[in-house]
Amino acid sequence: MIGAPAPEARLALYWAPEADDPLHRLGSAWLGRDAETGAPLPQPVLPGLDIAEVTADARRYGLHATLTPPFRLRVSWAEAMAAVDALAARLAPFELPPLAVEDLEGFLALRETAPCPALRPLADACVEALEACRAPPDEAELARRRRARLSPRQEALLARYGYPYVMEEWRFHVTLSRRLSAAEMAVVRPAVTDFLGEAPGQRRRVEAITLFTQAKAGAPLLIAERLRLRG
């Protein structure tokens, strides 16, 4: 296990492709940063658009699909790591369907191309397992979330879990862009689809949950550890 971060640090549990998966290499290059090393990467050219601006938010978070969103700790680092390790010990690996680039309400993201019944229980288990470790969000973060005009159910989830897009509101997605206009979508979607090539569509197994850490809110997230599923 890595050493304990500073008190203001946040941690998250994500799914991320393995370091030797072509999707990790290509997806990281698209975003312009390798979350494994923190190193910046050269990005492809987008005709008429600044790819660094298009991918800025996604680059900060790194190539991932959220399971437990970033949060500050209310317990010790050792207690949080024990909870994460116990979670990984009881979860079993499973097959992930091929992925493809899709328009997700104006954002481009990799989504599963076939139903995967194991994904939602994985995300729910990650949220529940770390709930006792999570410090509540501050008022500024709550206000920022509420600017998205949450539904009543999303508001209830925000109050319960500190994040509105968990449980039945959760969707597996690997974000590749900011929200795009129709004209931008016409440029970016074929570009990222071509750049990633066959990598998203390869069959792969979910064999680990990945612990990401963030030095403070707004800082880039980094992969701290991949915890193998042992259930």
The rounded distance, in Å, linking the Cα atoms of 21 and 14 is 16
**Which parts of the chain register pLDDT below 50?**
1
The CATH code of the domain that includes 66 is 3.90.1140.10
Long-range contacts of 140-147 (CB under 8 A, 24+ apart): 141/217
| Joined tokens for residue 54 | 């298009």
Structural domain including 49 reads 10-115+171-228
Write down the pLDDT at residue 189.
98
Q: Is residue 63 part of a domain?
A: yes
Q: Is residue 192 part of a domain?
A: yes
Q: Is residue 152 part of a domain?
A: no
Q: Is residue 165 part of a domain?
A: no
Write down the pLDDT at residue 87.
97
Write down the pLDDT at residue 1.
46
Write down the pLDDT at residue 3.
59
DSSP sequence for 70-102: EEEBSS-HHHHHHHHHHHHHHPPPEEEPPEEEE
Q: Is residue 4 part of a domain?
A: no
Write down the pLDDT at residue 7.
64
Counted domains in the chain: 1
